[in-house]
Amino acid sequence: MAASLQQRVATGDILRQRALIGFIVDATTPADCFLLPVRVAEIVAAECVAEVILFKLRVTDHVDLDDYSLSRAEINAESRKAIDKIVEGNGGTYYPAVVKFPAFPIRTSGDPAQLWISVARRLALHPTFENSYFMRVDQPVHLTGSTAFAFEPQGRLSLGDRQPARLPVSFYSQRYTETPKITLTCSTDGRFLRVSSDDSHDVALRYDSTEFWLQPEASSFDALTHVTIRLGPAEAETTPVAVVRFPVIIKHSRMRLLTRVSLSTLGAFLVATPAILGAHSSLTARILLAVIGSAFLSTATIVMGRPRS
């Protein structure tokens, strides 16, 4: 890490600054050099542990790769020039993490899926990734609309117990192989949050996308659970290609609780009303009140009841 970057970490000036994440191979021969900007991020935290500095990042924009070649030879040649500029800007020494680096065009608009696959296609040109599978997990959106659910700064997703969500997932591979069989799966705890769609998808193409439906269960309290997206061989106990796991908070609806209490109270009152009115009142009215009260109690206890154990 360059000394200038270490100093900014030590003083805290690095926080809330934009960072460029890239894949870099600084080879001795120009033909083996490879530099590809991958994503722009905001630095949320920087913690020094022994001789290692841990960065926590929040990804933001994509890098514009429209003018970036899809030829590995051309990428190698341009990468050598960019790495030489990094060395020149840092006193003749190469550092993987620097403050001064060549400017790359940033894309603040456009289809995120297409911008992502443009990065994946170019990374797959390098031997490190030529047999790899790339996976993209999009921002969850409401099941019946386009409203996106935002992650909290700690990386947790919050859903109400009446807020089902769609979780779009995409994958890409430079090469497709029939064996071993690769599957894309989504799993939850099954109690507070369950997958109401198919939880497994066969990866039978080089590029495809699917979505998993997440259904929160009604509960009498807030609950913390997890969603795990796994891409890898279908056989049990095999090492996955990629795993994304994030925490989800299922928030108990206070309005739902109030409605349930109100329905229970009203139902109990209506069921008890025939006894209060006495035998001299209309039999039809007493039966009708009892039936309506029973319906309110059933709605409060069965329809709005606790989740399955």
The edge-to-edge listing of strands for the beta sheet with 200-202 is 157-160, 242-251, 223-233, 182-187, 200-202
> Which residues touch 20 (CB under 8 Å, ≥6 apart)?
37, 39, 40, 41, 63, 101, 104
Q: In which element (H, E) is residue 172 found?
A: strand 165-173
CB-based contact 282:273 (threshold 8 Å): no
Output the tens digit of pLDDT for each of the chain's 309 residues: 888 898 899 898 999 999 999 999 987 777 789 999 999 999 999 988 888 889 999 888 888 888 888 999 999 998 998 888 888 888 888 888 898 887 777 776 778 888 899 999 999 999 999 888 899 998 899 887 778 888 887 788 988 877 899 999 999 988 877 778 889 999 998 888 999 999 999 888 888 889 999 999 866 678 899 999 999 888 877 778 889 999 999 887 666 667 777 878 888 888 888 888 777 778 788 888 888 888 877 777 765 554 443
Q: Which residues contact 277 (CB under 8 A, 6 or more apart)?
A: 285, 286
Give the pair of three-digit tokens for residue 5: 């970057």
Output the pLDDT for position 230.
Answer: 93
